[in-house]
Amino acid sequence: MKPFFAFLCTGFLAAACQGQSGTSAGKASFMTDTQNIPTTTVSVPAGMAIATFGNGCFWCTEAVFEELKGVQSATSGYSGGFVKNPAYKEVSAGRTGHAEVLQIVYDPKVVSFDKLLEVFWQTHDPTTLNRQGADVGSQYRSAVFYHTDEQLKLATDYKKKLDASGSFNGAIVTEITPFANFYVAEDYHQEYYKLNGDAPYCQFVVRPKVDKFRKVFAADLK
């Protein structure tokens, strides 16, 4: 993983999601008393499973997971915080406790949760606390919000193996915590790369990430 990680970090991790600036860099991941965290229900289509990942700006991560074989949908949203129905402006200011996340509906007969974890950990830097490149704040934290005990075990075991392997230069700070809530982000965030591919941010940040993902995971693309 070291060669891939070095390749991944070159260039585009230094850029930030436009207009986003957090205030909680260097602090612990935004954990609160679970009694104060609102909960939402999850509706999963028959035969499908669900995964919720926070790995930086969702404009980038959505574009990656949407191309993965077995993924039915990847919805950008907010999770893990204490504010109901948050607005993007609140989340991007670091005032809600929420992380920018993807809610992924996938077919476990086609793609495993382990494969989703592999893509998750190989397409962001899980060693920087509350930060991805120039995107700073708890809303950009690395997080797995698990839905089942099996997901908890798989994520925990995978994280331990990565740390033991020395795949990254620093310790992995990914938060692995039970899923509590998910709020769909505003419409203009959905399929952002597909609809705004010519925008400068997409050209200089999202596209290089997607292109590199396609090369590394060529056998797993739709």
Within 10 A of 163 (CB to CB), how many other CB atoms are there?
Answer: 16
Give 158-188 pLDDT, tens digit per residue: 999 999 999 999 999 999 999 999 999 999 9
Q: Of 209, 175, 213, 214, which Cα lies nearest the Cα of 14?
A: 209
Q: Which two tokens stand for residue 48?
A: 């499908």
pLDDT tens-digit series, residues 3-17: 344 334 433 343 456
| pTM summary value | 0.86
Q: Which pLDDT band, with edges at 50, 70 and 90, does 199 fall under?
A: very high
Helix (H, G, I), strand (E, B) or coil at 40: coil
pLDDT at 129 over 50: yes
Q: Which among 6, 3, 8, 1 has a CA at the least distance from the CA of 123?
A: 8
Averaged pLDDT score across all residues of the chain = 87
Q: What is the pLDDT of residue 4?
A: 41
User: How is the chain split into domains, by residue range?
Assistant: 2-220
**SS3 of 153-205:** HHHHHHHHHHHHHCCCCCCCCCEEEECCCCEECCHHHCCHHHHCCCCHHHHHH
Q: In the chain, what percentage of residues exceed pLDDT 70?
A: 84
How large is the average pLDDT for residues 16-45? 62
If pLDDT is split at 50, 70 and 90, which confidence band does 36 have? confident
- Residue range 2-220, CATH number: 3.30.1060.10
Band the pLDDT of 69: cuts 50, 70, 90: very high
User: Is 202 noted as a catalytic residue in this protein?
Assistant: no
Section 45-51 average pLDDT: 97
pLDDT computed for residue 205 by the predictor? 87
The pair of three-digit structure tokens given for residue 168, joined into one six-digit string: 């990254």
10 Å CB burial of residue 169 (0-12, 13-18, 19+) is: exposed
Tokens of 137: 């704040």
Of 136, 119, 220, 125, the C-alpha closest to 173 is 125
Q: Quick check: 119 and 64 in contact, CB under 8 A? A: yes
CA–CA gap between residue 131 and residue 140 (Å, rounded)? 6
**Does the pLDDT at position 28 exceed 80?**
no
Average pLDDT over residues 86-108: 96
pLDDT of residue 133: 85
The CA dihedral of 31, 154, 8, 13, to the nearest 10 degrees, is -10
Cα–Cα distance for residue pair 21/81, rounded to 1 Å: 17
Residues near 107 by beta carbon (within 8 Å), at least 6 away in sequence: 47, 48, 49, 70, 72
Which one of the listed residues 9, 17, 57, 60 is annotated catalytic? Answer: 57
What is the sign of the dihedral through the CA atoms of 173, 35, 146 and 41?
negative
